[in-house]
């Protein structure tokens, strides 16, 4: 009999909670990864760099496993089909995984668990990608927090060494199944092209964290960690990162708490992940669906330089600075009054660090419909934002080289007009009983 450890968004061997438990089980462990066609079949851009990132991470894991005489089994297909086959091929006593809190993932795991149980196996999941999950942090009424400040306070008072210490997986590598796994398909065979994107490092220098509080809000300084993609796919451990943050920057730690916050929102209120506003009244807003305006926003041609710079940064490198994510999202949902879900989906396609919980949380915050949202009548003024956060226009010039020439478009909409239109539409929806 064997145990299987199924990698998903935890693509590393070190400090991996589920893998650690698998290695301490009574069975030799086969590591597994599945390129999931439920996800891949919906990716239109065959150059999507995220696939290369995942592929490289799998190759790295394979390389490390081979030095212990083991290997990784990699499949391409639909998880349920693959698990049905695996449970015929192998005597699987236990399957170990780390929890994934997205609605699709929880449904998938429930189905796979049934397949395993039918053969008298056990399907186990562990907390790995966050410090606190699900309902570990509740308020005095035993309800999930929906306001960040209170959540963060409770998070900090609960957090201690126990929650931040690493799982020493490497001590138990002897328990890996010793074998050579069958070859697996290349990226090209799965329909994707290899990207030569220069991915950010998974190491966050202490020195960057020490400057973070002062510099993080100024996009031209590029002073944030760009660790999002590593957190998304688990190529770094959140426990290690949180320890580093604790030592060097409490403001940075607070950003990691935001990440936990939105993960628990998604788990406790899964409807937010299926297109519904956190505050139902906001689904009464009569959004515009103007294709031309939406296209201009996507392409960074709104005539608002800071908005355009943000969108072009996203289009060109798959990353956008947090301040710009707030400004561009607010511009789409408030200035253009376009359904925030269209913007959410656009970000999901483009962001290398795309994460359903954080992206949805960010979009609902910007549209005003989310937890912790700023009051709807607070509308970012893109020009005032530019003065404050890009006073010398350095960030704008980097991404919008034609700024100041005739080639640069006129503003798509007048600020005052847009503001009034937004206030009217929001008020009308929210005043209804």
252 is in an annotated binding site: yes
DSSP 353: T
Minimum distance, C-beta of residue 187 to ligand FAD, in the bound complex (Å): 23
Report if residue 163 touches ligand FAD, rule: CB under 6 A: no
Can you read off the two tokens belonging to residue 219?
Answer: 């996009």
The dihedrals phi and psi of 142, each to the nearest 5 degrees, come to 65, 30
Question: Among residues 225, 237, 302, 313, which is the contact residue for ligand FAD, using CB under 6 A?
Answer: 225
Known catalytic membership, residue 267: no
Q: Which residues contact 243 (CB under 8 A, 6 or more apart)?
A: 164
Write the interaction track for ligand FAD spanning residues 362-401; mark x where CB under 6 A is met and - where it is not.
xx--x-----------------------------------
Report if residue 351 touches ligand FAD, rule: CB under 6 A: yes
Known catalytic membership, residue 83: no
Nearest residue (CB) to ligand FAD, 197 versus 258: 258
CA 195: distance to chain centroid? 20
Buried residues in 72-88 as b, exposed as e (16+ CB within 10 A): bbbbbeebeebbeebbe
Nearest residue (CB) to ligand FAD, 311 versus 366: 366
Report if residue 326 touches ligand FAD, rule: CB under 6 A: yes
15 is in an annotated binding site: no
Minimum distance, C-beta of residue 93 to ligand FAD, in the bound complex (Å): 35
Q: Which residues contact 112 (CB under 8 A, 6 or more apart)?
A: 79, 80, 83, 95, 123
Nearest residue (CB) to ligand FAD, 82 versus 326: 326
Q: Degrees (nearest 5) of the Cα angle 278, 283, 287?
A: 130
> How far, in Å, CA of 340 to CA of 348, rounded?
12
Nearest residue (CB) to ligand FAD, 225 versus 302: 225
Minimum distance, C-beta of residue 44 to ligand FAD, in the bound complex (Å): 18
> How far, in Å, CA of 46 to CA of 386, rounded?
35
User: Residues 125, 127, 133, 137: is their CA dihedral positive or negative?
Assistant: positive
81 is in an annotated binding site: no
C-alpha separations of 243 from 171, 238, 248, 305 in Å:
21, 9, 9, 38
Report if residue 216 touches ligand FAD, rule: CB under 6 A: yes
- Of 269, 68, 71, nearest to 172 by C-alpha is 68
> How far, in Å, CA of 376 to CA of 430, rounded?
10
Report if residue 237 touches ligand FAD, rule: CB under 6 A: no
C-alpha separations of 27 from 85, 180, 189 in Å:
20, 18, 33
Nearest residue (CB) to ligand FAD, 204 versus 400: 204
Return the beta strands (E) in 66-205 as ranges.
Answer: 73-77, 92-98, 122-126
Nearest residue (CB) to ligand FAD, 29 versus 256: 256
Question: Among residues 12, 124, 312, 325, which is the contact residue for ligand FAD, using CB under 6 A?
Answer: 325
Which is catalytic among the residues 155, 267, 297, 363? Answer: 363
Report if residue 76 touches ligand FAD, rule: CB under 6 A: no
Known catalytic membership, residue 155: no
Which is catalytic among the residues 258, 268, 315, 381? Answer: 258
- Taking CB under 6 A as the binding criterion, the range among 221-229, 268-276, 294-302, 398-406 that sits at the site for ligand FAD is 221-229
Question: Among residues 98, 224, 235, 369, which is the contact residue for ligand FAD, using CB under 6 A?
Answer: 224
Known catalytic membership, residue 287: yes
Which 3 state secondary structure label does DSSP give 11? coil
Report if residue 347 touches ligand FAD, rule: CB under 6 A: yes
DSSP 271: G
Q: How many residues does the chain have?
A: 433
Which is catalytic among the residues 133, 287, 315, 381? Answer: 287
Return the beta strands (E) in 193-342 as ranges.
Answer: none
Judge whether 96 and 6 are in contact, CB under 8 Å: yes
Which is catalytic among the residues 297, 340, 365, 399? Answer: 340
Write the interaction track for ligand FAD spanning residues 245-264; mark x where CB under 6 A is met and - where it is not.
----------xx-xx--x--
Q: Which residues contact 127 (CB under 8 A, 6 or more apart)?
A: 17, 98, 99, 133
Question: Among residues 353, 376, 412, 413, which is the contact residue for ligand FAD, using CB under 6 A?
Answer: 353
Can you read off the two tokens belonging to residue 157?
Answer: 């008072």
Report if residue 236 touches ligand FAD, rule: CB under 6 A: no
209 is in an annotated binding site: no
In the annotated binding site, the residues are 212, 252, 255-262, 353-355
In the annotated binding site for FAD, the residues are 212, 252, 255-262, 353-355
Q: Where on the chain is the footprint of ligand FAD (CB under 6 A)?
A: 216, 224-228, 231, 255-256, 258-259, 262, 322, 325-326, 329, 347, 351, 353-355, 358-359, 361-363, 366
- Which positions are catalytic? 255, 258, 287, 322, 340, 363
């Amino acid at each position: 009999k064997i145990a299987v450890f199924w990698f998903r968004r935890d693509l590393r061997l070190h400090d991996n909670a589920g893998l650690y438990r698998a290695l301490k089980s009574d069975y030799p462990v086969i590591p597994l990864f599945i390129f999931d066609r439920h996800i891949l079949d919906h990716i239109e851009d065959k150059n999507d760099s995220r696939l290369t990132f995942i592929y490289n991470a799998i190759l790295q894991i394979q390389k490390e496993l081979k030095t212990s005489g083991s290997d990784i089994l990699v499949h391409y297909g639909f998880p349920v089909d693959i698990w049905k086959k695996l449970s015929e091929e192998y005597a699987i006593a236990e399957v170990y995984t780390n929890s994934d809190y997205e609605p699709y993932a929880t449904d998938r795991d429930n189905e796979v668990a049934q397949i395993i149980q039918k053969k008298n196996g056990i399907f186990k999941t562990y907390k790995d990608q966050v410090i606190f999950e699900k309902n570990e942090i509740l308020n005095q009424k035993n309800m999930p927090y929906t306001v960040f400040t209170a959540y963060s306070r409770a998070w900090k008072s609960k957090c201690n060494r126990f929650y931040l210490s690493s799982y020493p997986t490497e001590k138990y590598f002897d328990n890996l199944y010793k074998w050579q796994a069958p070859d697996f398909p290349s990226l090209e065979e799965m329909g994707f092209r290899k990207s030569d994107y220069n991915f950010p490092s998974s190491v966050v220098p202490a020195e960057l964290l020490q400057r973070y509080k002062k510099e993080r809000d100024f996009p031209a300084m590029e002073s944030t960690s760009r660790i999002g993609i590593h957190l998304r796919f688990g190529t770094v451990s959140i426990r290690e990162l949180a320890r580093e943050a604790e030592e060097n920057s409490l403001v940075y730690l607070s950003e990691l708490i935001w990440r936990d916050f939105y993960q628990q929102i998604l788990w406790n209120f899964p409807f937010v992940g299926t297109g519904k506003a956190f505050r139902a009244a906001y689904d009464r807003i009569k959004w515009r669906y103007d294709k031309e305006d939406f296209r201009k926003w996507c392409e960074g041609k709104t005539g608002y330089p800071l908005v355009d710079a943000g969108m072009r940064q996203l289009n060109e490198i798959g990353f956008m600075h947090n301040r710009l994510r707030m400004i561009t999202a607010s511009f789409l949902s408030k200035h253009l009054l376009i359904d925030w879900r269209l913007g959410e989906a656009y970000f999901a396609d483009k962001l290398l660090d795309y994460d359903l919980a954080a992206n949805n949380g960010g979009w609902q915050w910007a549209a005003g419909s989310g937890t912790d949202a700023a009051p709807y009548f607070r509308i970012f003024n893109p020009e005032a934002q530019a003065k404050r956060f890009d006073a010398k226009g350095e960030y704008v010039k980097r991404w919008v080289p034609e700024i100041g020439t005739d080639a640069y478009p006129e503003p798509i909409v007048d600020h005052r007009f847009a503001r009034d239109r937004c206030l009217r539409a929001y008020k009308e929806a929210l005043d209804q009983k």
